[in-house]
Amino acid sequence: MIKYSKLKFIIVIVLVLASGFKSYSQADIRLGVFYFDGWTGRTNHITSSLKNNFTERQPIWGWITSTPAIMKKQIDVAADAGIEFFNFCWYPNSKGKSLLADPKNQAMKLFMKEPNTSRLKFSIVVVNNGTYTINKNDWNALENYWISLMKAPNYLKSSNGHAILSFFTLKSLLITFGNEGGVKAAFTSLRKKALVNGIRGIDIAVCDAGDAATMQLADRCGADYISAYNNHSYGFEKAKAATANISAMNTQELKLWTLKKPLSRLKQIPTITLNWDPRPATGAKSKKYFSGYSGQSIYNQVISCRKWIAANPGAVSPDKLVFIYAWNEYVEGAWLTPSAKLGYSLINGLKRGLSDSIN
């Protein structure tokens, strides 16, 4: 009898304690980060300016992070903060080499092999931004490769079992396939092949739908969602000087999501633009940048996004997917990884933004 009472007491205590801890994997949104792999040492992204003048951006692991050991650590940091998935920037190589050979795809390959890979889901955003253009003749091979990724147990899928696939720009797809009918046929082909291979479906997002015409075009082409890689230009809309406080980005981004609501029947995957400061880039076209980037600014943006989604549930995907720009865009000034100078302050700001109540 005494033993039973003790056991009952222990169970009650455990239940009480469990109810007091909120999981960092939020039920109100499913949040992922864009992952850019310019950090293999085989590209030109680690500029002298970045190394010498922006040392606060250097990860605690060093500039070259595309190694098995460091990928494992990044997975743990992201998962511990409540991030659900890495959305890898994926580059089609159409310049005579192997279609899959671009060094900026290395991080995703490492991620898939890590012993702790199951702690995060992953997806890809196909970077067809003009510099990288999909060759129509490669589409069949690309379909096969993307579907092979989607068969991974931790590839990002919606609650209805559909894999999530993003494209950097719809306009480039129009160049590849000639017209909107060609794009729609390509999407249909991809979805049919996915079904044959045991994937329930593919939900496609396009990341350049910033105006009514492009949103409506995306709908006609067969896209499912409209999104963005980042929205930094909107943050400078009212700025007269070269710099603006990062709070302006938060304010303008909320307005942008609201403005998009009546312009298309397609749902949004909101993108939180954490920061923009491309000064380390060689020959950067825009020298405008935000000031005030910090763990607190990240916290404010995540809380604001969660509140906006709670108030506008019909405007977003059923799973309330959210993209963040970015995990590691060091040259462009948007990053979450811990550094020697800033410690874990940035990622902890995101963690608090996910865990705190919005009521």
CA distances from residue 150 to 153, 154, 198, 226 in whole angstroms, order as listed? 8, 8, 10, 21
In terms of Cα–Cα distance, which of 260, 184, 174 is closest to 219?
Answer: 184
R_g over Cα of the chain:
21
pLDDT at 52 over 70: yes
CA 357 to chain centre: 23
**What is the identity of the amino acid at 286?**
S
**CA atoms within 13 Å, Cβ hemisphere of 101:** 7
Dihedral (CA of 44, 48, 51, 53) sign: negative
Q: Return the structure tokens found at 112.
A: 């898939």
How far apart (Å, rounded) are the C-alpha atoms in residues 66 and 99? 20
How far apart (Å, rounded) are the C-alpha atoms in residues 79 and 84? 7
The full set of domains in the chain, from first to last, is 26-355 (3.20.20.80)
Burial status of residue 175 (CB atoms within 10 A of its CB: 0-12, 13-18, 19 or more): middle
pLDDT at 338 over 90: yes
Least confident of 117-121, 139-143, 236-240, 335-339: 236-240
Q: What is the pLDDT of residues 225-236, one digit of tens each?
A: 999 999 999 999
| Residue 285 pLDDT | 63
CB atoms within 10 A of CB 158: 19
Helices 247-260 and 295-311 cross at an angle (nearest 10°) of 20
How far apart (Å, rounded) are the C-alpha atoms in residues 97 and 327? 28
What is the three-class DSSP state of 150? helix
Average of pLDDT values for 129-157?
A: 96
Q: Which helix (H) or strand (E) holds 254?
A: helix 247-260
pTM here is 0.92
pLDDT at 5 over 50: no
In terms of Cα–Cα distance, which of 238, 348, 245, 234 is closest to 302?
Answer: 348
Q: Return the structure tokens found at 283.
A: 């020959």
- In the chain, the DSSP E strands lie at 30-35, 85-90, 121-126, 163-167, 202-206, 225-226, 243-245, 267-268, 271-273, 289-291, 321-325, 328-329, 334-335
Q: What is the pLDDT of residues 237-277, one digit of tens each?
A: 877 788 999 999 999 999 999 999 999 999 999 999 999 99
CA angle 328, 249, 53 (to 5 degrees): 45
